[in-house]
Structure 1
């Protein structure tokens, strides 16, 4: 199969994940760009940031119109996580690739288990405490900085489990966190953007945007508990794949 159909298919799946689940884009985009489209790891990471930023903004606007973006909490998460993420990125350079991959798998698996075991949050959502949100955001920034991912697949469990946010609010708010974190990361990689294969990245982004709209509609039709289970299955699959890669 040629690169263009693969880019369109992968973009649609990643957009669907971001629109419906509020995360998983960077986790899915990087492997797709490397293993399906032949990108180098550096180019794949940069392209993934571009794809995730555009798609997340598109999906977030739809969720915001329905009132499912908690702006204050999301901005606090993103703001307090920037410093720890930068420190984590510096530490990651000194950690062997296999160890990082295994750590990624463990964290993703733990987040999946947490989503399965968490109890549904009532419609009268738990009030957000700024100190608690700041602590969770800083921890999220540190972990995502070390693992080199946007953080959506960790943000949703944190927003639900730590702050007691409803699943649909967590999905919308995580898109805000992803956007800010990815913009900060892309700024640090600005010099690598020009070398991207835009004949592949462009269609990938377009398919992801369309997928995000479909994902948002899916989120409106499916219960929060079902979305939690779907998200957990995605995380478990990613964790298993990454763990196998680390071991073999």
Structure 2
């Protein structure tokens, strides 16, 4: 199968997962680039950052139009992650390839476990319902987090998310959304929209320090991959409206665990 066809299929799968689940799909981009398209781990994380930045920015526009982005809270978390993302991005190209692969496998497994955690779907639904019922309560929650101990916790969460994005090329939506809910106090719908702002900013900051690896990017592969991911995300949204969300999340989590196990075994052998 040609690289172009593989890139289109892999991109569609990543976009479908992102659209259907609202996060976690970008974790598939790196293993797809490494094992299907013969990228090195360092080049794959750089390419994944490009895919994440463009796909997240496109989705951010849609969420902003719907009024689901809390710009003040998102800017605080995003600003805290810019320097860690840039520093981690610069360090990634200097790390041993097996270490980078193993670290990615651990993060992928963590994402899968988070999705499989009992009660997650119920908690998400309750948070989303609360946001819809309260109307402006999500914005008030974000404003409340700007006082007291809120900013310190938000800055800490933002720094951690930035480092993760910069080092491994993942959006970190599976961590960003819970952080925005529990630390910043946003409702689920606002957290999903605002997380896209954080992810986009971190990805761009990391790319700015990856000059050595961006120079060798195969745009004939990354371009179609990204386009397919963006289009696949729209199909994923339609799928999410028709299918059982819990079943989708569990199926994706099991597949992600298998990918993580394969990557870890590959790094250790």
TM-score, structure 1 as length reference: 0.79
**For residue 28 of structure 1, what is the aligned residue in structure 2?**
28
**For residue 134 of structure 2, what is the aligned residue in structure 1?**
none
**Is 1:5 matched up with 2:5?**
yes
1:191 to 1:142, Cα distance in 2 relative to 1, 3 A = closer
**For residue 204 of structure 1, what is the aligned residue in structure 2?**
225
Mapping 1:1-248, distance limit 5 Å: 1-89=1-89, 97-115=97-115, 116-117=117-118, 118=120, 119-120=123-124, 121-122=126-127, 123-125=129-131, 127-128=141-142, 129-130=145-146, 131=151, 132-163=153-184, 165-190=186-211, 192-220=213-241, 229=250, 232-233=253-254, 235-248=256-269
| Distance (whole Å) between structure 1 residues aligned to residue 55 and residue 228 of structure 2 | 9
RMSD of aligned residue pairs (Cα, Å) = 3.2
The structure number with the bigger radius of gyration is: 2
1:171 to 1:100, Cα distance in 2 relative to 1, 3 A = same
Q: Aligned-pair distance for 1:6?
A: 0.7
Contact persistence 2:7–2:224 (CA under 8 A): yes
Which runs of no fewer than 5 residues in structure 2 stay unpaired? 132-137
Moved more, 9-18 or 88-97: 88-97
| Distance (whole Å) between structure 2 residues aligned to residue 224 and residue 163 of structure 1 | 25
Aligned residue pairs total 248
TM-score, structure 2 as length reference: 0.74
3-state SS, counterpart of residue 130 of structure 2 = coil
Q: Aligned-pair distance for 1:31?
A: 1.7
